[in-house]
A and B are shown apart, each in its own frame.
Chain A
Amino acid sequence: MTDYPLYQCIDKEGHWVGEDERSTQEDLFTFYRHMLRIRTFDKKAVTLQRQGRLGTYALFEGQEAAQVGSALALDGQDWLFPTYRDHGATLTFGADMARTFLYWNGRFEGCTPPEGKNIFPPAVPIATQIVHAVGVAMTEKRLGSGKASIAYFGDGATSEGDFHEGLNFGSVFKTPTVFFCQNNGFAISVPMEKQMNSKTIAQKAVAYGIPGVRVDGNDCIAVFRTVQKALERARAGEGPTLVEAVTWRYGAHTTADDPTKYRDQAQSIEFRKTNDPLTRLEKYMKETGVWDEEWFAQLQTDLSNEINQAVEEMEAFPKPDVNNLFDHVFAEPVWPIAEQKSHYMDHLKGVIS
């Protein structure tokens, strides 16, 4: 642990403890705004799921600093490889909110990024996206584009082969990649100490000869600076970095699961009180006299409007089109699918064939 100190800029009480220069007022507003935005989104999604207006949803509340800090560090043209829990990061990076809701409604339309944005559909199988991020970075390196890639994953993902294969490839080929682990303490019900015997995730980087750093994942500024540094290194041709952002997720693994079975909820309540990423930044902003109640009230109104509008857009979206079941499997239709499609369309119309 001592070899991997937790990098912080503001501590839990909201005091500046960073050694570098402080963030500008504008940056603080930006960090806070994005964190509140995705928290509001997350809460809305849970409500919608409870009302039966969304399918199973993966919550991230508590991880806002990790997702916002890392996504804001990216250049708009970089590549982002999220998991099912990183829609906070993708929204911050520019994903469309209504479509993000659509994804959780079981629609392929939710997997498509806005024009010009390199956001891959969320990886559902654990760790599989880590190698993709490396492959993309190999292309960008070959093209000399200066673009980098970031792969998001959890603590549980470090047990899969793909994690190790990704770190090894990235290191051997010195790809411009950031391996961004949100260590939220649990992989569904399995706590970190049963997932691995190593004290930190950052230390796993040693085996691959790349830097591994630990950052307080509830400190948005620290995450932002850490990822920014890793990206600079990546773009300078020095290869990938493994970032371990230590954080906590308050709620269930997904809305389909009951966390009281395996996790002491008191811990989450305590975390919310003492180590919440938004509260921490708020304290610091208040301490430095930057906080503005009027701005905050306006922000809340704006965000709730934006989110309600996105929900409306999602619900007004055209009904799922059966053609989408068949039309995107291959670039050009192949006969088995074409034939199955035409038979099925006839069947739906009641044509007997």
Chain B
Amino acid sequence: MINLEKQSKTKQMTLVQAVNDALRVALESDANVLLLGEDIGRNGGVFRATDGLQEAFGEDRVIDTPLSESGIVGTGVGLAISGSKPIVEMQFMGFIYPAFEQIMTHVTRIRMRSMGTYSVPIVIRAPYGAGIRAPEIHSDSVEAFFTHMPGIKVVCPSSPADAKGLLLASLADPDPVLFMESLRLYRGEREEVPVEGYEIEIGKGKKVLEGNDVTLLAWGAMVPIIKKAASTVAKEGISCDVIDLRTLFPLDRDMIAESVQKTGKAVIVHEAHSTGGLGNDLVTLINDTSFLYMKAPVERVTGFDVPPPLGSLEDHFLPTESRVIAAIKRVIQF
């Protein structure tokens, strides 16, 4: 793998194209890499994330499976412990639940139970999140279930270049990774993405904007929202330190602590529900590392404690720029 900074040749890509590109690099560079999932072959995935890959690499490597998430992840476990490198697709994160048992009881525990004899280097890709008016259950954002169970890393990129580098790093990781892809960002922005393979270290956040008054923390689809909020409040003279966490387990403790110790104030934004959400862990992390630096209680802006609604109420469920701005003002005026 090549260093990101040293890459010269780049290409404009959307996030979903960058995922596709990463998968292509992965399949090219290692014959043990296999893709499994529903409709990923001939159809190229319902979001085209695997478009063209079956044609290029054959039906034995890009495998259309029966409609069975437990089957996909369970066989993925078998594949992974025997030397294959499966990258499996859950068509939507809201359909990961039939595979929940396999993930909770096997994927996350095999290394520990076998004292390291066996491991499950599987990547589970899961498009997640609301905001595209998809039908019911297609919009879930349940990363907290997975960060709660130790034994699986959780990664969630918010930009095309990050998506490619993080996906390749997830594949190279010796442990299982849940890789969340925001539906809303799939075809959002385009950016220049290096053409060759590269990795972005798992466990590291990214400073998106430098500022001094308040730290904004988010991941995935909420990153553009906090960026917008930051640029809006900048006009009123509030400067935000904006962090895209990128990895949700393990968190980039150092980057978060360094930032909140500088600003003394923090707003955490996630679209997942509030109770039991990852925002609560971030508050704890801030308490543990930076309590004496804080000048205001940490604010959270989250999806409400209600199941993700049907499309017509989606905009009310999701955190909006205006809710984020209100929270920023609350901590600033505290």
A residues with CB within 8 A of B: 55-56, 84, 103, 105-108, 110, 124-126, 156-157, 159-162, 187-190, 194-196, 254, 257, 261-262, 320, 322, 324-326, 329, 336-337, 340-341, 344, 347, 352
Contacts and interface: CB of A to CB of B under 8 A. Distances in A.
A188 B46 contact: yes
Given A329-B306, A336-B274, A322 B316 contact: yes
Contact of B312 (A106, A157, A190, A344): A106
Contact of B305 (A103, A110, A124, A336): A336
Contacts of B67: 126, 156-157, 159-160, 187, 190, 195
Given A125-B97, A326-B304, A337-B306, A189 B66 contact: no
Interface string B108-122: 000000000000000
Given A105-B312, A160-B67, A196-B66, A188 B39 contact: yes
A161 B95 CA distance: 13
Interface stretch (B80-88, B134-142, B199-207, B217-225): B134-142
B305 A56 contact: no
A326 B66 CA distance: 37
Give the 7 A-B residue pairs with the shortest CB-CB distance, closest first.
Answer: A106-B311, A189-B43, A159-B66, A156-B67, A106-B312, A320-B312, A106-B310
Nearest to B322: A347
Contacts of B329: 352
A235 B314 CA distance: 43
A125 B46 CA distance: 16
B269 to A, nearest CB: 14
Contacts of A157: 67
Contacts of B311: 55, 105-106
B326 interface: yes
26 contacts: A55-B133, A105-B311, A108-B310, A125-B97, A156-B67, A161-B68, A188-B39, A190-B38, A254-B135, A257-B46, A261-B44, A320-B313, A325-B313, A325-B316, A326-B306, A329-B306, A329-B307, A336-B275, A336-B305, A337-B306, A340-B304, A340-B305, A341-B304, A344-B316, A347-B322, A352-B326
Nearest to A196: B66
B323 interface: yes
Interface residues of B, number: 42
Most chain B Cβ neighbours within 10 Å, of A162, A325, A326, A341? A325
Contacts of A326: 304, 306
A322 B313 contact: yes
Interface in B1-54: 38-39, 41-44, 46
B318 to A, nearest CB: 11
B250 interface: no
B317 A325 contact: yes
B94 A125 contact: yes
